[in-house]
Amino acid sequence: MLHYFDKLVITMSDILEIIAHCPLFKNYSTLQIREFLAGTNYSINRYKKNQLIFRMDQQITHVGIVLTGSVEVQKVIQSGRMINLVYKERGEIIAEGTVFSTIPTYPCQVTSRETTDILLLPKQYMFQALGCNPSLLTNLLQLMSNKLIMLNTKIELLSYCSIQSKIAFSLLHCINQNPMAQVIELPYSKKAWAEHLNVPRPSLCRELRNLCKTDIITLNNRTITIVNRRQLEAMLNE
């Protein structure tokens, strides 16, 4: 089967290769994935940059897998301010937490960050498939557990008021994942980091320069070296 999007063609082989890297289908063979898809009424939609994929008040009908491009999951609070929760890229699943939810609408807004292709699986079929596939259910529970931990970390990050304390928390969180390391390689640009911290990019850059001037960190492009960890930790109590 071929899926045509303008001049881009996505083949079934492409789809199977991408889905094989999706955590939901961990330990699934290509044949098993093909059989799974054959039993679903799946669809593939293309979204332009900044196009809305799921909105917060939309009825839950599908779970998505990113085939190409990337998306941003956001929470819109009552004041209208938007909080960036997480980015999802090729092979990652979106709206996985809605499968067992009794809430009828999506809890977050999902928007494409670039031209993005999403494979959409009907929620009802996913619900039925999980009852017949213990390994699929285990994979989903692991995904949801990891997501819960990530959201708890995000809530803690957003609880800090100052930009410096948010930077300190973010850096210490990275270091705590590898306690012996003092050097951090940022996996994203400063623009993406600023969005993750929910602060303006110029403000992030200004505070990073201040941290360098006070010999708390050194900065070289995306490489950050922690010089004074105690000072970083002290910022969390300010």
Domains defined along the chain, listed by start: 2-150 (2.60.120.10), 163-235 (1.10.10.10)
pLDDT of residue 4: 45
Could you read off the pLDDT of 65-88 as tens digits, one per residue? 999 999 999 888 777 777 888 889
Q: How far is CA 140 from CA 95, 131, 207, 238, in A?
A: 11, 12, 39, 39
pLDDT of residue 179: 66
State the pTM of this model.
Answer: 0.79
pLDDT of residue 9: 64
Low-confidence ranges of the chain (pLDDT < 50): 1-7
pLDDT of residue 10: 78
